[in-house]
Structure 1
Amino acid sequence: MAKTGTARTTLRRMAAFKALGRAVTAGARGGPSLGARLGALPRMIAATVRGKYDGGARTLAMAAAAAYIVSPIDLIPEGLFLALGLGDDAIMVAWLAGAVLSETERFLAWEARRDAIVPGEVVG
């Protein structure tokens, strides 16, 4: 039973890393470049805080993941269980990177749709 769970976990990690790789190389395939995605991050946070963009829960989850990674409390598992302590951080970093890339791509698409709308009034 443990082997099956381990195999599933390994497959999930491999899928996450493949998705991360596709997201990083998306600029070469016509998607937003890594620089465009990272440049969109402050605008995404600002639009979320102002209530214009619906990314509140996702942005909060990404902030929590970043806080977990840099938290000094997380140093205790690294000191006691070196491989396991670093492993949970590696998984969290991979998830965070994928989430940031995915959400910034979603935000850039939202921005493009929003910018395409011409303000005005319907006269009828």
Structure 2
Amino acid sequence: MGRTLKRTAAFTALARALAAGSRGGPALGTRVAAVPRMIRASMRGEYDGGLRLALMTAAVAYVASPVDLVPELMLSVFGLVDDAVVVTWLAGTVLAETERFLQWEKTRSPVVPGHVVP
């Protein structure tokens, strides 16, 4: 049952992020360009996305890992299902997190010592 809930959450996140993009959300190029800024802001502690970035990195490592080839070899198509779920979750999370980061950038007030920037 836990796997079903995780799978449902992954597909829900992807559907929500794709629907947001069709409603005038950020373009894919804007999202991709935001990833390095998001990583930098998280590493500096300015943005609270550190845990989510760590989970996304772990998902990429899981899918790319040679250890993950064992289930694919033994279980053939069924071994690929876990990769499909992880990739779906990753895509949805990247879309949702980049949109959240872009919104955070918009609302963040830039501070220059001695000046207020509108």
Larger RCO: Structure 1 or Structure 2 (Cα < 8 Å, ≥ 6 residues apart)? 2
TM range (shorter): 0.7 to 0.9
Provide TM-score, normalisation by structure 2: 0.81
Cα root mean square deviation, aligned: 2.5
Provide TM-score, normalisation by structure 1: 0.77
User: Which structure has the larger Rg over C-alpha atoms?
Assistant: 1
Where structure 1 has 5 or more consecutive residues not aligned to the other structure, the ranges are: none
**Using the alignment, how far apart are the partners of 1:17 and 1:45 within structure 2?**
24
Where structure 2 has 5 or more consecutive residues not aligned to the other structure, the ranges are: none
Task: Indicate the SS of the match to 2:17.
Answer: helix
**Using the alignment, how far apart are the partners of 1:74 and 1:64 within structure 2?**
13
Where does structure 1 differ by over 3 angstroms across 4 or more consecutive aligned residues? 11-16, 116-122
Q: Residues 34 and 21 (structure 1 numbering): CA distance in 2 closer, same or farther, change over 3 Å?
A: farther
| Offset at residue 56 of structure 1 (A) | 0.9
| Offset at residue 92 of structure 1 (A) | 0.4
Identity %: 59
CA contact (8 A) 1:69 1:92 kept: yes
CA contact (8 A) 2:10 2:85 kept: no
Letter in 2 for 1:101: L
Residue by residue over 1:8-41, the C-alpha shift from the partner in whole angstroms, topping out at 9 and shown as x without a partner, is 82x7645633541341343331211222112211
Structure 1 position 58 matched with structure 2 position 52: yes
